[in-house]
């Protein structure tokens, strides 16, 4: 019997995944910001390789969902933007807000593009997720077919950010969603704005793209 077949086991595993994600994010932040002696870097690399080895002993294949995830219930612990278990995710926390969505996150050194500011691709990634969430929350989930981003001011690192998204229009299978990034302290001062187009998949497209995953 799988160790997570009862509810308690699942809760414990999700907490463990979140704990591992937190540790990995700390590692990435420290490893990116460090000016420690070279010997320390060599020692850390060896320790990290040793820590990674047992995790690699049982892994899932490309089309297998994580045992702790609930794909149809929207639980994606390794999503690279929102996933608590993802070393790569800030993670961005998103909530519904009226007819739209609001998100919060703080970006560390690993997301740096121009010195002391976020990489533009990172802003686009955050907004893609925000806009996709707002489309889904409005009952029109789809895949991104277009994402236009306008960079008005650089996005500062180590600063709490606020992101917004709301559906601007629906045209058949196409949903247009707009969104912004500001700092939490100055929500009226838009740093990045985006407009995305999301397309609802036809049944045949969903089968072709996700059949191997959904089974």
Ligand X SMILES: CCCCCCCCCCCCCC(=O)SCCNC(=O)CCNC(=O)[C@H](O)C(C)(C)COP(=O)(O)OP(=O)(O)OC[C@H]1O[C@@H](n2cnc3c(N)ncnc32)[C@H](O)[C@@H]1OP(=O)(O)O
The 189-208 site mask, x for binding ligand X (CB under 6 A), equals --------x-x-xx--x---
Q: Which is nearer to ligand X, 141 or 154 (CB)?
A: 141
88 C-beta neighbours (distance < 10 Å), count: 17
Query: Using CB under 6 A, which of 56, 73, 172, 215 touches ligand X?
Result: 172
Footprint of ligand X on 42-81 (CB under 6 A): 74
Comparing CB distances to ligand X, the nearer of 44 and 124 is 124
Residue with smallest beta-carbon separation from ligand X: 132
Among the listed residues 12, 154, 173, 176, the single contact to ligand X using CB under 6 A: 173
191 with 139: CB under 8 angstroms? Answer: no
**Rounded distance between C-alpha atoms, residue 13 and residue 208, angstroms:** 31
Q: Closest distance between ligand X and the C-beta of residue 59, in Å? A: 23
- 161 vs 130: CA distance, rounded Å: 13
**Cα–Cα separations (whole angstroms), residue 140 to 79, 123, 198:** 20, 23, 9
């Amino acid at each position: 019997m799988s160790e997570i077949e009862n509810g308690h086991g699942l809760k414990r595993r999700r907490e463990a995944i979140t704990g591992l994600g937190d540790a990995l994010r700390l590692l990435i932040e420290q490893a990116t910001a460090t000016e420690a002696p070279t010997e320390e870097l060599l020692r850390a690399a060896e320790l990290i390789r040793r820590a990674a080895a047992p995790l690699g002993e049982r892994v899932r294949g490309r089309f297998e969902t994580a045992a702790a995830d609930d794909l149809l219930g929207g639980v994606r612990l390794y999503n690279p933007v929102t996933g608590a278990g993802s070393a790569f995710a800030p993670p961005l926390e998103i909530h519904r807000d009226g007819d739209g969505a609001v998100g919060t996150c703080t970006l560390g050194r690993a997301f740096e593009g121009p010195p002391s500011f976020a990489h533009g691709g990172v802003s686009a990634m955050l907004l893609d997720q925000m806009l996709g969430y707002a489309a889904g929350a409005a009952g029109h989930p789809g895949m991104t077919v277009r994402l236009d981003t306008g960079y008005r001011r650089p996005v500062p690192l180590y600063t709490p950010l606020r992101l917004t998204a709301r559906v601007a229009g629906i045209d058949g299978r196409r949903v247009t969603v707009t969104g912004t990034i500001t700092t939490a302290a100055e929500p009226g001062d838009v740093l990045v704005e985006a407009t995305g187009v999301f397309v609802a998949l036809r049944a045949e497209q969903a089968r072709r793209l996700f059949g191997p995953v959904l089974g």
